[in-house]
Amino acid sequence: MTSHDYIVIGAGSSGSVVAARLSEDPRTSVLLIEAGGSDRSLNIQMPAASYLKAIANARFDWRFKADADPTRHGRRDYMPRGKVLGGSSSINGMVYLRGQPEDFDAWEALGNRGWGFADVLPYFRKAENNENGADDLHGAGGPLFVSNLRVTHPVSDAFVRAGVKAGLPLKSDLNRPPQEGVGFIQATQVRGRRCSAARAYLWPAMGRRNLRILSNAHVRRVLFDGTRASGVEYERSGQRESAVAGKAVIVCAGALASPQILMLSGVGSGAHLREMGVEVVCDLPGVGANFHDHPGTCHIAWVNTPTYNVQTGLPRILWFGARWLLTGRGPASTPDTHALGFIKSRPDLERCDIEYHFTPVGYDLTEDGPILFDKPAVTALANVHRPHSRGVVRLKSADHREQPLIQPNLFDDERDLDTLVIGAKFLRTLFETDPLSRFVTSEFKPGPDVCTDEDWRSYVRESGIGFYHPAGTCKMGRDPQAVVDERLKVHGVEGLYVADASIMPQIVSANLNANCIMIGERCADFVKSAG
């Protein structure tokens, strides 16, 4: 048994930040426990390789699978989650996007003092090293490299120009309010290499004597002395081990695993824990509740120009790889998405509620993970920003090795279905708009048979999927379903924090990585100030 001041569970987007920031004080000792292994793999560091070799690879991906969803005719979502240093930031699409200012102001309005946009902006800027330099919204000199695209494709440019022709403002900075518009992304990259939370925060900290990073260690539970978190029990190489936390335990395992760890530790709905044979430490019914994701659909079209999904022959791979190694440019550096668009589903709305992702790659999101097509195609995704539907995460058993029960209930609220229909319809309009229409030879999905409102509703319900952005399962607040307070301390116990996407009371209007890094930065400050 080892002893440390702080134990951080999970080396993902938030956990890497928390561990690195806490270990900046040489007087403290920090243990970071990660179930996955090293991220120093070409399949992680080369962006294009991640989609082919990291996602759905059990070495890097937990490969979660949701239960059958009754709101979508029993569809079961595939849910990739990073099982590697850097967590999901090591296998994600690298889009650097924050929520809208109103997202954070709404968190504060729910009683979470100090979480308004004016409060979180300094932490976004603190984390950021933006290629375009610092300004009133962006930072320079932080650990996280944020870069402009290092590869272009004529179809991506056509999507942006079609969006402008369809009435969307052209955006040079997608993180500058107001969000409505279309433009090219910035990516969490450095010289064309992936800049995960591990690369940004852990790599520079690995030489510190007061930081111990324990990889390939699967947490069984948080240990308690009464109602105070006193340590962590984990399994490594088939052996059960434990470590003592003198000051605090910080759970940063993500929106699926963080509630599972809390429940396995006796923190959760008392009735559910007793049913699973887990001794109750704190009856906290909100643990695992409030699950939500960005519900969305795919729009896929066959095109008359080569796209990256068909440029996979050996000569091309060798050329792309050599170019990437030497210059950090070319298709091997491509993020998952090249361009984003944002619209309001109704003109009376104050802010955007629909997001579009566009990529010059033909792929589909299936129940078993992404698949690439073998002929030229492009894919665009439409998703709802702030869904009303809520699902749940629960234990299947008291065995830490068994994945949790995940019930998304993606269209439990019909308003989300209605909004997504509007978004999907407008996405077809974009594909029919010049100059993007010049490249399109035919529409594969939804397909020409989808015409009427009822057709659209059926298509969205049958093909809709969560867009790999699970959130909300340990939500922040003071209501009966809240799990953590505004300083991310778990209600009803001492010395226990949660910091990741699970604390979001309402998911942000954006991809989650940048926001989780901000949450990690804030949590580190909260823990430090608690002493």
Number of H-type helices and E-type strands within the chain: 15, 27
User: Half-sphere exposure (CA, 13 Å, Cβ side) for 115?
Assistant: 27
According to DSSP, residue 310 is labeled G
Catalytic residue among 294, 299, 400, 469: 469
Does the active-site annotation cover 469?
A: yes
Name the nearest CA neighbour of 437 among 161, 118, 224, 241.
Answer: 161
Helix axes 414-431 and 453-463, enclosed angle (nearest 10): 110
Is the sign of the CA dihedral 252, 83, 146, 511 positive or negative?
A: negative
Burial of 475-498, coded b for 16+ CB within 10 Å and e otherwise, reads: bbbeeeebbbbbbbbbbebebbbb
What CA–CA distance (Å, rounded) separates 482 from 490? 9
C-alpha distances in Å from residue 265, one per residue of 61, 287, 491, 523: 24, 12, 14, 21
Extract the tokens encoding 501. Answer: 């996407």
67 near 392, Cβ under 8 Å?
no
Burial of 200-238, coded b for 16+ CB within 10 Å and e otherwise, reads: bbbbebeebebbbbbbebebbbbbbeeeebbbbbbbeee
List the catalytic residues. Answer: 469
